[in-house]
Amino acid sequence: MQRNLETVQSQSGITPAFDGTVDSLLASMKNSGISISLVNNVILKPELMRKANDWTASAVAQNDSLVGMGYIVAGAPESADEVQRCVETLHFKAVKIHHSHAKILSNDSRNDPIYEKISELGVPVLFHCGKNPFAKNSAAQYSLPSGFRSVLASFPKMRTVLAHLAGYEDSPREALDLLSDFPNSRGDTAVADISKVNFGEIVPKIGTGKLVFGSDFPIYDSKILLSALRDSLSQVDFETISWENPAALFNLEK
């Protein structure tokens, strides 16, 4: 775990707020007043998917406040079957795909069987959206908002969450247009610099139904993000985004 966190810092310049262990997550949740967290492992090699998702299932089984989210490697031939296993065998509430980690475009046709399976099962999918945090200046970007436009058009039944407010910090207009144009798309609130994102201005443009709370643990401190959301939103909008929307999307109960 320490080696992984050191890699994050050295390659992205980001210093994670927490060490990424289950214990630190539970402590962060308690400190932030968070009752439920969706969790997933992150791996790069397809052959590690089953092991990583089994580990998540074990962690969730030991903690009532954690809900499983499968990690799926973009473009891998075995990924569609792993989506099905995550939903039907491990009983996960969602899956996550990070195209930048796999170095494959979101609209690459090798992803189509995965998207078809996700759509068939009706499980929500969280996509990393925006520039690769490990290579923001690289010409090769795999998860830009523009790339998801054809994906969402081709798979309209797929319920998607586009992380980091659909890449808003790097592409604000494209991000909000993407969320507005596709009924089954949502953005999460896990932005890198909350001081530069005014949710009080964004919500009237796209509506509260387009946002779900996300923290990107262990990178960011959810307490800081929640405080900023409370300061910029009405109490009704805050409750909708922080609980009602994610509860409805992921079928959660308090």
Residues in the chain: 254
Dig out the tokens for 204 from the structure.
Answer: 């009237």
Query: What is the pTM for the complete model shown?
Result: 0.94
97: left (phi over 0), alpha (psi -120 to 50) or beta: beta
**pLDDT at residue number 199:** 97
**pLDDT at residue number 254:** 74
- Residues 52-62 pLDDT 10s: 999 999 999 99
Helix axes of 79-88 and 49-61: crossing angle, nearest 10 degrees: 20
**pLDDT at residue number 253:** 87
Helix (H, G, I), strand (E, B) or coil at 37: strand
Instruction: Count the domains in the chain.
Output: 1
* Contacts of residue 2, Cβ cutoff 8 Å, sequence gap at least 6: 19
Helix axes of 199-206 and 222-232: crossing angle, nearest 10 degrees: 70
Strands (E), 105-210: 125-127, 160-162, 185-188
CATH number at residue 6: 3.20.20.140
* Contacts of residue 178, Cβ cutoff 8 Å, sequence gap at least 6: 145, 148, 149, 152, 162, 166, 185
* Mean pLDDT of each 10-residue bin along the chain, 254 residues long: 53 77 96 97 95 98 97 98 98 97 96 98 97 74 96 98 97 97 98 92 98 95 96 98 98 88
Residue 48: give the domain boundaries.
Answer: 2-250
Residue 16 has phi, psi (to 5 degrees) of -60, 145
Dig out the tokens for 133 from the structure.
Answer: 């945090």
Identity at 244, one-letter amino acid code: E
Helix (H, G, I), strand (E, B) or coil at 3: helix
Helix (H, G, I), strand (E, B) or coil at 124: coil
As a whole number of Å, the CA-based R_g of the chain is 17
